Amino acid sequence: MTPHHLLYHWDETAIDRWERAAPLPDDDPYARIALISPALAVSEAIELIPSWAADTSPDGWIEVQLRVQQSGRWSKWYRMAVWSNDGSHRTSFASQHDEYADVATDTLCLVVPGQAVQVRVLLCGLPGADMPQLLDLFLCITTTAPPSVVSVPPALSAIALPLLMSQYDYPDGAGWCSPTAVHMVLAYWYAQLLDPRLAQFADGTTLPHLTVAGIFDPGWNGTGNWSFNTAFAARFGLRAYVTRFDTLEQVGRWTAAGVPVILSLAWEQNQIDDAPARTGGHLTIVRGFTETHALIAEPAGRDRILRAYPQTQLATAWQAKSQGTVYLIYPPDRPRPVPGPADAWI
């Protein structure tokens, strides 16, 4: 049976086996080569979310595109993102709506379910710039299959985060929940690894000019682009990608392994006990579980970052808003939960 969510991953070795093709006439005029993945046969795909890790020199960038097959016909290539590590070339794109699909910032939403999908990445650069490198490509696929259901509660755990931050500590921070959550998680990994690449995240004062600036999407005019958040985290030696879970039990397997998980959700006033005021879209950190509650590091918590949300209320708000979207950010060599058939992770 097809799972509700799937995750495909190509590392640098697998990407080396992709087709190399000349850019098309309508491509970015600075595109040097197009990397095209094998077509993936997927039963009843309805949403696609790409993530990536890239090494881009100054004046170099990548462009990520997707296409889908429905009833034996391929769609056009939808432009999902332009990305450079230094931010000189970075944007999402408008909807590009047609009879096949439309783009919702970081997600390709299909009009009718698709039977195959494919990825295309342009390697671009100004004259004299080094060629960008695509190091990892992840593709989360949501299908029409029903969500998995488990009766097992999340494993008990409690991760201590060394840096607790509120987005409201910053004059322009009202929309910074996602980079604030990412910054706290990267500070945690610095404390665990002492990797000098992560040292700058131990200081909360670097959030505006480091994490916010490194994630900001001018095409969406904000910092909530899921794919940009994980692409930023991947710059610092970590594996980082967007995927989707069906249950908090899946989240609990990660927190029990010492990996905090960032969730995308929304709630109405009083929908989640102990949560701040209503939000139409938000990112928060799950750092563990008690028997009844999820332990939260809340970027919107103002003077009380550590909170506890009832598991049922949290799960309902999370699944309703984002179909269980999470950021997974962790060292590539860290022991982690072994995925089962219904688990969209690597």
Beta-carbon contacts of 217 under 8 Å, excluding residues fewer than 6 positions away, are 90, 91, 92, 105, 223, 224, 225, 228
d(CA 165, CA 183): 9
Q: Please write the tens of the pLDDT for every residue from 204-252.
A: 999 999 999 999 999 999 999 999 999 999 999 999 999 999 999 999 9
Determine the pLDDT at residue 151: 82
Pairing of strands 279-289, 261-267: antiparallel
Q: Which domains does the chain have, with CATH numbers?
A: 5-143 (2.60.120), 157-330 (3.90.70.10)
d(CA 324, CA 135): 26
Residue 198's SS3 state is helix
Q: How confident is the model at residue 1 (pLDDT cuts 50, 70, 90)?
A: confident
d(CA 264, CA 255): 16
Supply the pTM of this predicted model.
0.98
Q: Please write the tens of the pLDDT for every residue from 88-114.
A: 999 999 999 999 999 999 999 999 999
Q: Please write the tens of the pLDDT for every residue from 128-181.
A: 999 999 999 999 999 999 999 888 999 999 999 999 999 999 999 999 999 999
Residue whose token pair is 């097992």: 152
pLDDT over 90 (residue 324) = yes
d(CA 266, CA 280): 5
Beta-carbon contacts of 278 under 8 Å, excluding residues fewer than 6 positions away, are 266, 267, 268, 269, 271
Q: Please write the tens of the pLDDT for every residue from 19-67.
A: 999 999 999 999 999 999 999 999 899 999 999 999 999 999 999 999 9
Strands (E), the chain: 5-11, 19-21, 31-36, 40-55, 60-70, 73-74, 78-83, 91-92, 101-104, 107-125, 133-143, 157-158, 239-244, 261-267, 279-289, 293-297, 306-310, 325-330
